[in-house]
Amino acid sequence: MSERVAIITGGAKRVGRAIVEKFAGEGFRVCFTYNSSKEDAEQLARQIDGHAVQADLLDPIAAVEKIAAEFSSRFSRLDVLVNNASLYTPADLAHTNVELSRKLMAVHVESPTLLCQKFAALLRQSNGHVVNMLDVMAEKPMPGYLAYCTSKAALANLTLGLARELAPEVTVNGIAPGVVEWPNDMPQTERDKYLQRVPLKRAGTPQDVANVIHFLCTTGNYITGQIIRLDGGRSIV
């Protein structure tokens, strides 16, 4: 069991860090990516005895080649791929342009596609698991986040397509969180307003996300092609 290996993109901070720590704590060897958070990444790699790869997913082809090269120099198997890296960029219709749309698609759609393509053989060999990080706003777009919501909706569709492409050896699922970690600049009044629309009346945590992803990659190995709404019930209101 100690030989299981996971790749987690965007793993240096926030929710990604919780996922990395969860898998490392459960006996996985972890390779994770980061973009600019070098100090956090290096500290986390030492903490878990893992490997951090600097990769800018705005350039998916170069990033995936670099991840694959560094991964293959250290590991010979892959059990879990978590496409967690994300850009949360606001823009309404008037401020949405081709450059922004392409950046969001590069991180949220093109990079997960190329990573699955690159590592499909290893994942099949280990009867592995892919989990994509979505957003409840993929189903209910929030005004002012047009391109972001569109790219996450594309990732949701990609999740379903990959589940069929990689079956029967590999499971592919998505997690669609609501608030599991507040933006640092969000006023308390806005947080309270949001929670009034959540049946459980509280925010989730990064650990909630990590626990569900770990479940999908271990005990829940008969689940594929599903998108789990981890939102305290917000999506049913």
Q: Which residues are catalytic?
A: 148
Nearest of 130, 131, 132 to residue 169 by alpha carbon: 130
Cα distances (Å, whole numbers) of residue 48 to 22, 31, 43, 60: 10, 10, 9, 26
76 three-class SS: coil
Alpha carbon distance 201, 173 (integer Å): 26
Cα distances (Å, whole numbers) of residue 123 to 2, 70, 157, 195, 198: 17, 17, 20, 39, 37
In SS3 terms, 75-96 reads as: CCCCCEEEECCCCCCCECHHHC
| The token pair that represents 140 in the structure block | 């209910």
Nearest of 230, 121, 112 to residue 170 by alpha carbon: 121
DSSP 73: T
DSSP 141: P
